[in-house]
Chains A and B, each alone.
Chain A
Amino acid sequence: MEAFTRLDAVAVPLPYASIDTDQLIPARFMSRPRAAGYGDLLLHDLRSTPGFLLDDPGYAGARIVVARRNFGCGSSREAAVYALVDAGIRCVIAPSFGDIFAANACNNGLLPARVSEAAAEVLLARLLGPDRRLQVDLEHATIGEMGFEIAPVARLKLLRGWEDIDLTLSHRAAIAAFAKGDAARRPWASATETSATGAST
């Protein structure tokens, strides 16, 4: 995974609350293989909305999105993150994020940066003016002069570009030991298919 340290880039304001993952990538496109790229599908159905700035030439090359609360709520589809990443976005700034979206983002090198609602409004207003660049620094958790929040674990993961699986595999023995003990502690938890009479089917 590509590590995230600092980013100085154009930021596009999307002043909506609860931009859900169905907006980020409509369900009907999800049968497309990832290799074909998802960038053109990002916010597909909103792009024709009057005043929607994602395709505005004034924000060409944007790598940051600023939005209102509850960004990425809804479906667990990681394709929502793929669409952002494939469109060149590396950071989303919002007052809150859907839980699963935030986890998916951190698994793909996309930074979900949490700011207060007031701070988001300040950024949204400012980005409508001539100064459209933001400087995001993950080491210090700052956006220009402003601070942002991110869970320490997520921060480290992004900074290092870590993937969970590598760490997990180093704990193989502990996992095997747990599974063995657990099978004895909870014999009923195995998934065995039997008919109501107890005979195996």
Chain B
Amino acid sequence: MAGETLFDKVWRMHVVLTREDGQALLWIDRHFVHEGSHHAFAKLRARGAGVARPDLSFAVADHYVPTRDRGAAIGDAAIGRMVGQLSDNARAHGVRLFGLGDPAQGIVHVVGPEQGLTLPGLSIVCGDSHTSTHGAFGALAFGIGASDVAHVLMTQTLWQKRPLRMRIWVDGAWGPGVSAKDLALCVIATIGADGAQGFAVEFAGAAIVGLSMEGRMTLCNMAIEAGAKCAMVAPDDVTLAYLAGRDFAPKGDALARAAADWSALASDADAVFDREHRMAAADIAPVVTWGTSPEDALPITASVPDPAREADAGRAAHVADALDYMGLAAGQRLSDIRVDRVFIGSCTNGRIEDLRAAASVLAGRRAVVPGLVSPGSSRVKAQAEREGLDAVFRAAGLEWAESGCSMCVAMNGDQAGPGERCASTTNRNFKGRQGPGSRTHLMSPAMAAAAAVAGFLVDVRALPAVR
């Protein structure tokens, strides 16, 4: 009999029962809710139901929180109501709240790991598609909709169909100026925005082992943009070192017991995957997106595609539509695209390492376009300030703000204007994602910083040295 994959092992540990039709009822170890979860709480109220395990549920204010003037009352009534509703629901159900003003507030997918709530081998869900982020610890983590959020609140379980297993093996060492974000975009461009649909993805290989937890989180975060059910990386010493001393992580004897369990999670040598992809980290260059889907990604050295040269009719139509929306010409060099603003932040690239990468490019340089830097959490913000990164951003002319989803989803009022082109470290370049009519180019923190300095999309590796 073939061995088990990391996914198989974690899945198996959480199956309460399996129905005849194959649907499994999974036990959920951690459930994160945010402002958007009001639909689910309304369903609870409609049924007169309560939260089954408030001790395993955590509320985080992130999507709607203001990133400026935190002390003041929220000016927009609808936004204020969204933030207030979360606090009310958390209080009513006895759920721990990381709310506005909490020193540990931040974006849910930054807060969970940072608090040590995210651990190897756990099952983690949240009413947010980028829950895949938590898989970087070897957890089974995926996003769900409001009906399922309500189901988990009421039962701490969820019915799921077992996905297929895919391994993406990345060999070799990383080139200079290249990061996990570049790999993520490269993977999505290679397999397509639905290339991993129906699959649990495991990232493995020397290049993945060589990544920090921040890098692994960036990678797993973006797996949803390839349509993956979830993404995972086997826990190792890097994982353990990250978790040491985190508020909610096990300590002492409990940690020793946990570490022993976690070391058995890695995929067996003879485990079988339903699909495998292999890539070499050395082949990856800094990548930017040009279109309106994360799969519309190319190395910065390339040119915008030409719909006339696309063989597939559907693809040709998409390319033409995307170029029209993005205000680009077929064949135009990516490095000739002028940007209007930059955004550095989000659950994809708002962690301390991301801010360090951006700051190292900006140090001693000036941004020629306006830009906003929103740390992934209030703790990341404090850490960055201890390291003096805020001073680097400010000296470069960028705005240093509070933590939240901010311009990743433009729900809190932070947005790019119609037709404005934003170099962004976020995860979605969908039409209007950063505001009606806005144009988003996705890239790494270093590449966004370089774009701020140049005023164009530019290869960070080719930026002239600071004099």
Contacts and interface: CB of A to CB of B under 8 A. Distances in A.
A76 B230 CA distance: 13
11 contacts: A22-B432, A31-B81, A46-B431, A70-B193, A76-B128, A81-B145, A121-B314, A171-B25, A174-B16, A175-B27, A175-B157
Chain A interface size band reads: 35 or more
A192 B251 CA distance: 10
Contact of A30 (B122, B194, B314, B411): B411
A78 B150 CA distance: 12
Contacts of B263: none
Given A28-B411, A178-B16, A164 B151 contact: yes
Nearest to B251: A198
B383 to A, nearest CB: 16
A27 B314 contact: no
B194 A45 contact: no
Interface string B316-352: 0110010000000000000000000000000000000
A73 interface: yes
A192 B122 CA distance: 14
B29 interface: yes
Nearest to B146: A78
Given A73-B227, A103-B144, A22 B428 contact: yes
Contact of A22 (B13, B25, B159, B433): B433
A190 B250 CA distance: 9
Given A17-B315, A121-B313, A188-B261, 6 more contacts: A16-B321, A17-B317, A45-B431, A81-B145, A175-B157, A179-B27
B231 interface: no
Chain B interface size band reads: 35 or more
Interface in B281-326: 293, 295, 313-315, 317-318, 321
B39 interface: yes
B238 interface: no
B432 A74 contact: no
Interface of B: 13, 16-17, 21-23, 25, 27, 29-30, 36, 39, 42, 47, 55-56, 58, 64, 78-79, 81-82, 117, 119, 121-122, 127-129, 142-148, 150-151, 154-157, 159, 161, 193-194, 197-198, 227, 229, 245, 247-248, 250-252, 254-255, 257-258, 261, 293, 295, 313-315, 317-318, 321, 409-411, 428, 430-433, 436
B410 A28 contact: yes
A168 B157 contact: yes
A99 B21 contact: no
A18 B119 CA distance: 33
A34 interface: yes
